[in-house]
Chain A
Amino acid sequence: MGAGHAHRLYRHGHSPVHALPPHTKLAAVLAFVVVVVSTPREAMWAFAAYAGLLALVAYAARVPPGFLLRRLLIEVPFVAFAALLPFVARGERVDVLGLSLSVDGLWGAWNVLAKGTLGVAASVLLAATTELREVLLGLQRLRLPPLLVQIASFMVRYGDVVTDEMRRMRIARESRGFEARGVRHWGVLAKSAGALFIRSYERGERVHLAMVSRGYAGSMPVIDEVTASRAQWCRALALPSAAFVVCLLGWTV
């Protein structure tokens, strides 16, 4: 509990981006990603403009570039996939450095790379400037079904507890000389997973009883209703609006 009640991606700060209400940020990121995805892939300059916009946001949020770039590593698997596309796609071929590549495949690879990277960067910025609890409040404000938000909130609240339980089981296994080296050891690991499920489920039952004894009747009380003023909405939606202008230019030019 001493580690602070924030997830690993959160970066504490007091920037204007941190201060925005969470649901405006969620809406802005979603709108931004939709705009990016619907941009034609031939308008390469538009993606550079989007990257510039995100860099401005990162600057305003005082998120250092190194932090952002390190978080972008999560998309390495897609990069590998995108690198394959020029070789397997059909259509017109072009010779690059002695390799016969498909033109459409090159465009497809660029498309996945550019849009995927921008999407990941926007999500990383959101996660870096918004606390977990705020994300949940924001989702609730955006009219996600309350039961779904409750489930998500229990997941994030107990995610660390369950992960820690798993870590303790690993330490217990290792301190008894167990080391998983191959398929033959899957039985032990699966038994750990089974035990983890039973412990999680039983913890859920205990949590439910504790909640009932404190007067839970199916819905959580909302004590910190988040609201956003018009100015805050304007500030949050500046990013997708600017992106939308770029997108329109991308379609017309």
Chain B
Amino acid sequence: MHAPDGFIDVPVSAAAGVLAAGAIAVSLRGARRELDERTAPLAGLVAAFVFAAQMLNFPVAGGTSGHLLGGALAAILVGPYTGILCVSVVLLMQAVLFADGGLTALGVNITTMAITTAVVAYPLFRGLVTVLPRTRRSVTVASFVAALVSVPASAVVFTLLYAIGGTTDVSIGKVAAAMVGVHLLIGLGEAVITALTVGAVVAVRPDLVHGARGLRPKLKLRVDGELVDAPDAPEPAPAPARSRRKVWVTGLVTSLVLAGFVSFYASADPDGLEKVAGDHGIDKKAEEHTIADSPLADYGVKDVDNARLSGALAGVTGVGVTVVAGTAVFWVVVRGRRTDRDADTTTHDDSNV
């Protein structure tokens, strides 16, 4: 659903535009990583595909028909960054050439239809593919679920934008119910089509499905009538590791300064979402968080009376805990990967003998 001009007020449209521009800048870099210098022709052709696929009509019943939105499909097939770029370019050209969706609403449309769908669908898809057994069927199932969730998620983001910058005073509950209700149905159709399409591509060219690249079966060699795993091609030597210490220290110092010092001056007013929730009485039902009694509840330290000092202490403690937890997770992941690689090399040595 392409939002027209005048649907969302100017400040929120502008904010969404800034968000969309930032996301596109990140995606341009990410797409270069995904496709290197082939980015322009490949992303262009995929954008043309998304554009054409949106014209493919899927009859539902009684003369009605639906069509693909394509956000989740593009993210799964060519990767999240390229996917965002392709759908954004399609939206841009639709707004400029076909007057489909307002020019001032372009940021809103890109945020809801390109960014949200990719950001929701791709991690979900990857997560499911890693958890499920490594078969073609699980790729299909994962793309079904990813597309199913991505469409209502995009409706929810649109409702949020409408809640902040809508030009008409409609009860947000009603908008949310209508949008999410309708988009659950649309999402079901989108999910079926996306799953079938990804399934069709995986059946013919599994290497083209970006989200399922790890699933390629290993090359087998028949040696003396027995199937043996072929040794992997030697990995290119890793580039000499640059010292990350400087980056790390700068980041830590910045976070500490922000958390401990700058937070003095942060606004004490509730943020936009809390305000909307308060105005509409949504937050009346919100229960206090289960850790509301914890020593750091509500960004302050218990038993420290000076409000500023308490906030700063809480901030610094928060940064410390985050850094420790993050480092621990990172360390575990890296170690896991290393042991995997070691195990691989040993088996290869065996098979080579």
Contacts and interface: CB of A to CB of B under 8 A. Distances in A.
B264 interface: no
A119 B97 contact: no
B208 A90 contact: no
Interface in A181-221: 181-183, 185-187, 189-198, 200-201, 203-205, 207-208, 211, 217-218, 220
Interface stretch (A30-38, A56-64, A229-237): A30-38
DSSP class of A's interface residues: helix, strand, loop or mixed?
A: helix
Interface string B1-40: 1001111011001000000000011001001100001111
A74 B55 contact: no
A163 interface: yes
B28 A180 contact: no
Contacts of B268: none
B59 A155 contact: no
Given A119-B6, A148-B24, A196-B52, A207 B39 contact: no
B68 interface: yes
Contacts of B38: 204-205, 208
A123 B92 CA distance: 12
Contact of A105 (B32, B51, B89, B170): B170
A147 to B, nearest CB: 5
A153 B39 CA distance: 13
A51 interface: no
Contacts of B102: 33, 37, 115-116, 119-120
A108 B24 contact: no
Contacts of B198: 194
A114 interface: yes
Given A119-B103, A132-B97, A148-B89, A111 B48 contact: no
Contact of A192 (B37, B56, B59, B78): B56
Contacts of A152: 44, 47, 89, 92-93
Given A155-B90, A162-B52, A30 B103 contact: yes
A89 B1 CA distance: 20
A4 to B, nearest CB: 16
A198 B104 contact: no
A193 B193 contact: yes
A211 B40 CA distance: 11
Contact of A90 (B37, B89, B171, B192): B171
A89 B170 contact: yes
B41 interface: yes
Nearest to B51: A159
A78 interface: yes
Residue of B9, B44, B196 with most chain A CB atoms under a 10 A cut-off: B44
Contact of A200 (B39, B45, B100): B45
B197 interface: yes
B307 to A, nearest CB: 38
12 contacts: A9-B97, A85-B168, A111-B167, A116-B4, A148-B85, A148-B89, A152-B93, A162-B48, A163-B52, A183-B192, A197-B53, A204-B45
